[in-house]
Structures are given as C-alpha cells and as structure tokens.
Amino acid sequence: MNAASRSVSVKDVAARAGVSLGTVSNVLNRPDRVSDPTRVKVETAMRELGFVRNESARQLRAGHSRVVAYVVLDAANPFFTDVAQGVELSAGLADLWLFICNSNNDAERERAYLDLLQQQRVQGILITPVDPDAEHLREVAGRGTPLVVVDRTQQGLDLCSVAVDDVLGGRLAVEHLIDRGHTQVAFIGGPLSIGQVRDRWQGAQQAWADAGLPPESLHLITTSALTVVEGRGAGERLSGLPSRRRPMAAFCANDLLALGLLQQTIGSGRRVPDDLAIVGYDDIEFASAAAVPLTSVRQPRHELGRTATELVIDEATNPAHTHTQVTFTPELIARTSTLG
C-alpha cells in the first residue's frame, strides 16, 4: 500500500520484478509481446508497489490528453448540468472524460480556467462564455486547442458554435402571451450584458411590434442575475406597481427567475395564471414540477451538448475540419402557468 512512497515509477516496478524498464512498458502497452510468466511477475510487482501510471509523463510524450472540459456559466443552473449530461454521454463514446469547470459568470475565472486547460493540453474545450466575442476565446483556438462555444452563436465564422435561436425563443414566448390576449407584458431578465438575455428581449420586442402593440406596454424589468432570488425580487417590484399599470403577464429570461416570480406571486396571495401569467425559458425539470406547472421555452439541452462534443472532437481529429455554427430551434411548452 506504500502510503508514503513519493511516487512509484516504471523503474521501481522493473527493479522489483527483476526485469528491464522496457519490459514493464511492454506489459502496459503491448502485453502480447511479453511472455506470460514475465507478465505475471511484472503485474505482481505493480500491485505490490501500488504503481499508478503518471499521466503527465504519458501526455508529455503523447502530446495530448484524454479529457475534454466544459466551462459552464453557472453550475447551479440545471440547464447547464443537463447540457453537460449530453456532453458526457457523447464524450464517453469517444473514450474521453469530462471535467466540468464553473466560471460562475466571472470573466476573470473563465480566463483562468481557459489558461489552465490549454496548459493541460486537453483534447478540447466546450464553453458557455461570459462574452462570446471575447478575444481570448479566439486565441485559444488559434493556439491549437479546439474550442466550441455552447449556447451562443458566433459573430465571425472562426469558431464552432452550437446554439439555440434565442431571438426566436423570445418571439415564441411573447407571441404565446399575445395569443392569450395579453396587452401588458413584462419582460424580466438581466443583466443585459448577457447575450442570451439580450436576444430573448429582442425577440420579445419583435413579436410585440409585429402584433402592432405599442412598445411602452412591453415593460422591461431588469435583474442583476438569472436566479430564483432575483425572480422573487422582480415579483416584488411588479407587485409595487399601481394595479392599473401592472402587467398581467410576465416573460422571464430563464426558469430560475420564473420560479422565483411564481413563488413570490403565489406567496403574496395572487394567482397564476389568473392574476399573472408566467412564461419561463429553458424548460428545466423543475419547471414542470412547479406547483403551477410552468409554461417555458424548451431548448434541446442534451442535443446541444452532444453536438458540441461532436464538433470539438472533429476539430481535434479531422484535418479537414471546418468551423460550423449550428443553431437549434426552440419550442414553446405551454402549461398551466399561462393556460389556467
């Protein structure tokens, strides 16, 4: 068990087994070239010494690792863990292991993780970036580590990306509310520095304009994060409005906000959807599990992860790889929170 052993190397194993170092290596990598008795001797020595292959040394020689990493914006948001599940599945098929890193919406941390991962020479990086146009994303790819942007489209064509059409998603949500007869709607989300929020807001505005409704009746309520707590806060601000001017419907930029809003609304004695209709975004599992099942815009989360992984593997292994921007189509899932 050798608890204190600095680190047992092939050399130690060779000495213990009374063979040369090359033979040990053969046992590890081409067992068929080794005679049975020798192999057994070596394997025994490995077990006795508690030998563990040193991945750094292997990798130094091989030039690449068996790992892909997914840098998420917020590990506590089920949306990202669902995407990660899709990644993990297809990574496994290619014999790759997944490390999840959490940038926590912090550009500094994101950058630090990217640096670390490049230095580790991971096979590829998937990332939902704080800012998809940041220069350092391009630099990563330029320096040889395949990188795919997840859940954001790319302006240029110099990176792979996998995304869902957030503008369309915003449209779907608001068109649904318009169909339900609403003429006063609040868009709740923020900060607007988050591209996903901007796009959904834009889609909302487009749908509003297309329906010929006056812009001032589509209210923008900005939040400082996409969390349950912020959703509750937004609910309080909404309650504070004079009832004449208070929207009877809200479209939230994600489900966490929507769940917070839902809770605050019900908690303060109003009813969903009678007093307030709510549409969320992402259709995380908790959306349908909310006590008033939440209407939400569904994104193909697993698909997103799967496709991103395939792209990053292609970029890593296919010399003829060309950067591709994949866009999926969102889908509105109507439930009680708008249907009554």
Where do contacts with DNA occur on this chain (CB under 7 A)? 6-7, 9-11, 19-26, 28-30, 32-35, 37-38, 51-54, 57-58, 60-63
Binding range to a second copy, per CB under 8 A, among 24-32, 115-123, 173-181, 274-282: 115-123
Site string for a second copy, 157-196 (x = CB under 8 A): ----------------------------------------
Choose the contact partner of 76 out of DNA, a second copy, none; CB within 5 to 8 A by kind: a second copy
Binding range to a second copy, per CB under 8 A, among 37-45, 117-125, 273-281, 320-328: 117-125
Query: In the numeric block, which tokens belong to residue 176?
Result: 């649904």
Nearest approach in angstroms of CB 293 to a second copy is: 7
Rounded to whole angstroms, what are the CA distances from 326 to 164, 265, 307?
8, 38, 8
Three-class DSSP category at 329:
coil
> What is the C-alpha separation between 122 and 91, in angstroms, rounded?
13
Closest to a second copy by CB, 279 vs 292, is 292
CB contact set of 10 (below 8 Å; sequence gap of 6+): 21, 24, 25, 28, 51
Binding status of residue 285 toward a second copy by CB under 8 A:
yes
Site string for a second copy, 49-78 (x = CB under 8 A): -x-xxxxxxxxx--x-xxx-x-----xx-x
> What is the C-alpha separation between 98 and 315, in angstroms, rounded?
17
Binding status of residue 313 toward a second copy by CB under 8 A:
no
> What is the C-alpha separation between 255 and 280, in angstroms, rounded?
5
Binding status of residue 260 toward a second copy by CB under 8 A:
yes
Binding status of residue 321 toward a second copy by CB under 8 A:
no
Binding status of residue 240 toward a second copy by CB under 8 A:
no
Closest CA to 82 of 94, 100, 67: 100
Rounded to whole angstroms, what are the CA distances from 32 to 35, 36, 37, 52?
8, 9, 12, 21
Rounded to whole angstroms, what are the CA distances from 275 to 106, 139, 272, 303?
37, 50, 6, 36
Number of residues that bind a second copy (CB under 8 A): 69
169 CB neighbour count, 10 Å cutoff? 27
- Choice from 25, 38, 85, 239 touching a second copy (CB under 8 A): 85
Chain positions 123 to 152 lying near a second copy, rule: CB under 8 A, are 138-139, 141-144
Asked if 66 and 123 touch (Cβ cutoff 8 Å), the reply is: yes
Task: Note the residues at the interface with a second copy (CB under 8 A).
Answer: 1-8, 50, 52-60, 63, 65-67, 69, 75-76, 78, 81-82, 84-85, 88, 97-102, 104, 112-113, 116, 118-121, 138-139, 141-144, 228-229, 231-232, 259-260, 262-263, 266-267, 285-286, 288-293
